[in-house]
Structure 1
Amino acid sequence: MKSHFLVFLFFLLTTVAGGVLAQAELSPAELFRRARLATFVQKDYPEALRLVQLALQKTPDNAPMRILLSRVYMLTNKREEAREELDIVLKRNPQNREALNQYIELEYAATDPAAALSYINKALEFYPQDEEYMLKKAQALYDVKDYPEAFILINDILVRYPHNPEAKALATQIRTFASLDQITLSYDFFYFNKNYNSALNETPWHIANIAYGHRTNRGIVIGRVNYANRFGSSGLQVEAEAYPRISPRFYSYVNVGYSGNEPIFPRFRAGYSLYANLPQSYEADLGLRYLRFSSATWIYTASAGKYFSNYWFNLRTYLVPGIQSLSHSYTFTTRYYFDTADDFLSVAIGSGISPDENRSILLDRPQQLSSRKVDVWYSSRINKVNVLLLTGTWFNEAQPDRARGTQLSFGIMYQRRF
């Protein structure tokens, strides 16, 4: 009986030892494969830990194996050990995307979104403007209740990636909590060359405004006071403007204004446009504008736009029905975005006058003849809450009984958000 027991014990020991020796002879790649199988399919974490540690004994510098070891530690609530393994990987290669992603996930598992945010920021140093990391950062900012910053960032993401469904869903969440106020100051100078009459040539125009905007979960509402010195006189105009969000696909523009200082400003002005975010990063809008000088002027507008990489292209037209003819203007705009939606360079070429321009007072003159224009805008966000915009325009138009006139305008805008 004793001899049978000894034989059984010998058989068991040789079998186990043979299995261990066999596994020791497995290649690191095969051990890694089996460790992944034990981790993600079989959920056998002790076996996964044993296999990946055995693989690392053979290839200690293998980053994917060490990241897998960190994953096993994380799944078994050994977060400090998990961090140590990821630190080893990131010390050797700070740009390792898989390690960065797992560190972010690890800190979220530890219910520490602030720590996760710090690793997201590190990732963005190596992968700036990356869609995945920008979205992770917006989520982290929301989770740490930094709603104004989250609001700014999610809008930047939607400019670059307007059809990202996760971004749209997160934007809806953030808008529920975010309220962002802003004060805007702007000034524009208009010069008319000697081909214009003396009233225009000898008295350049000066236009300034101050505006206050309040952003809610339904959109932004703006109140504005405009000052102008033109035609040798000064005047004021008050405006109210809003961009109500109708749905994730549609939003609108609404504007009304009044002035008692004609012809410096129209007595009444109003506008409405409906905007649609379309598939494949396209957008479009339809709208109308109303200006009341000595008589009423109705203007109809439409545009189509496309986001491509960091670029935005847009073609817009304004149509002004007349008694005998239809006046029309066209503008094609190309915009390049740098870091955010507030950092860009735009160049536009076109013809005609837009009722949304400060020179729209000229729409009250007799029927416009041919005209050409070039606009340039440069915008930059400074320290997250300041926006500076510089503009310049060259405008050249035909005049009845006169040589073509040239206008030059320069503008500056400063916006403070709080």
Structure 2
Amino acid sequence: MISKKIVQLPFLLCFAMVFQIYGQENKYNGNPDASFETARNLAFNQQRKQAQDTLSHILTKYPDYHDIREFLATTYSWDADYRKAQKEFKSILDKDSQRKSTWIAAIKNEIWADKPYVAIEMTSQALKIFPEDPELLYVKATAQENTNNPLDAFSTIQSILDKNPEDQKANEYKISLNQELRKNAFGIKSSVDVYSKVFDPMQYHTLKLSRLTKYGSIIGKLNLSRRFNENGAQFEVDLYPKITKGLYAYLNLGLANTFLFPDVRYGAELYKSLPHSLEVSLGFRTLKYSSTTNIYTGALGWYTGNSYWSFRPYFTPGDGGTSTSAALNYRKYRSNAENYISFSYSMGVSPEINQFKFDTADAEIINLKTQRFNIGYYFTTAKNKNAWGAQFDVAHQEISFDPGNYFWIYSLNLSWDLKFK
């Protein structure tokens, strides 16, 4: 009888050979420089997983090839896998703290991970090794700005320029920080509506003073209007408090003692950022004339590249039912959020933005058949200190006291804002 052990022996030998061959195939034996170049090409062509596999494979044989490990960590940062990146950067710096490129990449990883205070501490350590190094000072300023301390960031950037006034990157950052430090603004806006028939031209003017704080912005406004051969004024305050990351609010209160404006107006809206560059909001506006009108509104916004789309409906309940109006807006940004061209199209009339005196006794005003098209152009000058804007608006609106008949309304709006510290 053949021994059971003798029968199992060939099987065990085959298994051992296969395991040995498999292990040999997974052990890196190529040219690390050539493989590194291949991995870089993969990473820059949106094939990062393949690149990371290749880089990790090289490191099995060359664990101290720091350029490869640094690039591997950087790809983890690009993928928002900040912990993995941190581990690889630390592995390098524990062995060689003289690698400035690794310090900078590791600090950026902490900034992108929304850990600016950790980034600042790391920068302080690196600057002990590379005193007054401009590249390290630059990333330190970035981290300081991310802690909502633009003044500290400005001071750090200025230290770079004290040594090298021609540093273009630092000069551009200084301009950007200067704009951020201008937390106060004074603005003027004027517009005129010209009617094809029935009404004389109507004028609207706004003087405003605003301040940006760490809790949000506050804007005080004096609105002036001349309509129906009468002059009127309204005092208004807008608040945009920050609640938490990705969540903020809008609060409004206005007071007047003229029929050209509601006696009291107030409103609130909550804005929430969503994945895929979306933003939603929900709120209300209340207007008090001789009686009260409530308007419910919200918006859906979408940022895509340098473009922004938003859709905002208005719902106004009344004795005759709920009326609806809506507006679609588009913005194309250029260098920053204050340089853009805008287009909007709306249908229906909302009492919030209706240029007439609105009273709930005039419910038919809400249901007017109206189409409106608007184009605007906004730009800044003098290192973003001055912001200018112009809008042209055309509306085809039903006459409230003559249903079925329409007039055209041509509107021109000009604005100017001066920012200061």
TM-score by length of 1: 0.61
CA positional deviation for 1:180: 5.2
Per-residue deviation, residues 46-85 of structure 1 (Å, max 9, x unmatched): xxxxxxxxxxxxxxxxxxxxxxxxxx99985668xx7xxx
- Match of 1:394, SS state, is strand
Q: Residue 141 and residue 407 in structure 1: after superposition, are their counterparts in 2 closer, same or farther (change >3 A)?
A: same
Identity of aligned residues (%): 22
Asked if 1:345 is matched to 2:341, the reply is yes
CA positional deviation for 1:307: 1.4
Residue in structure 1 matching 2:255, options 248, 253, 258:
258
Match of residue 392 from structure 2: 392
Match of residue 64 from structure 2: 42
CA positional deviation for 1:319: 1.0
CA positional deviation for 1:300: 0.8
Aligned ranges 1:252-331 → 2 under 5 Å: 252-262=249-259, 264-331=260-327
Are the equivalent residues in 1 in contact too, given 2:183–2:213 (CA < 8 A)? Answer: no
Letter in 2 for 1:378: Y
Aligned ranges 1:223-262 → 2 under 5 Å: 223-262=220-259
Q: Residue 353 and residue 287 in structure 1: after superposition, are their counterparts in 2 closer, same or farther (change >3 A)?
A: same
Per-residue deviation, residues 306-331 of structure 1 (Å, max 9, x unmatched): 11121111111111111112221110
Match of residue 181 from structure 1: 183
Match of residue 211 from structure 2: 214
- Match of 2:257, SS state, is coil
Per-residue deviation, residues 123-148 of structure 1 (Å, max 9, x unmatched): xxxxxxxxxxxxx9743655895349
Q: Residue 325 and residue 181 in structure 1: after superposition, are their counterparts in 2 closer, same or farther (change >3 A)?
A: same
- Match of 1:280, SS state, is coil
CA positional deviation for 1:208: 1.2
Using the alignment, how far apart are the partners of 2:181 and 2:66 within structure 1? 48
Q: Residue 224 and residue 371 in structure 1: after superposition, are their counterparts in 2 closer, same or farther (change >3 A)?
A: same
Asked if 1:110 is matched to 2:127, the reply is yes
CA positional deviation for 1:184: 3.3
Q: Residue 190 and residue 102 in structure 1: after superposition, are their counterparts in 2 closer, same or farther (change >3 A)?
A: same
Using the alignment, how far apart are the partners of 1:225 and 1:114 within structure 2? 50
Are the equivalent residues in 1 in contact too, given 2:190–2:206 (CA < 8 A)? Answer: no
Q: Residue 143 and residue 327 in structure 1: after superposition, are their counterparts in 2 closer, same or farther (change >3 A)?
A: closer
Letter in 2 for 1:331: A
Are the equivalent residues in 1 in contact too, given 2:185–2:211 (CA < 8 A)? Answer: no
Residue in structure 2 matching 1:29, options 33, 40, 46:
33
Letter in 2 for 1:415: D
Aligned length, in residue pairs: 305
Per-residue deviation, residues 246-275 of structure 1 (Å, max 9, x unmatched): 12132111000001122x111111111111
CA positional deviation for 1:41: 2.7
CA positional deviation for 1:240: 1.2
Are the equivalent residues in 2 in contact too, given 1:192–1:405 (CA < 8 A)? Answer: no
Per-residue deviation, residues 189-236 of structure 1 (Å, max 9, x unmatched): 3333233x2xx23xx122111111122221111111111111111111
Letter in 1 for 2:63: V
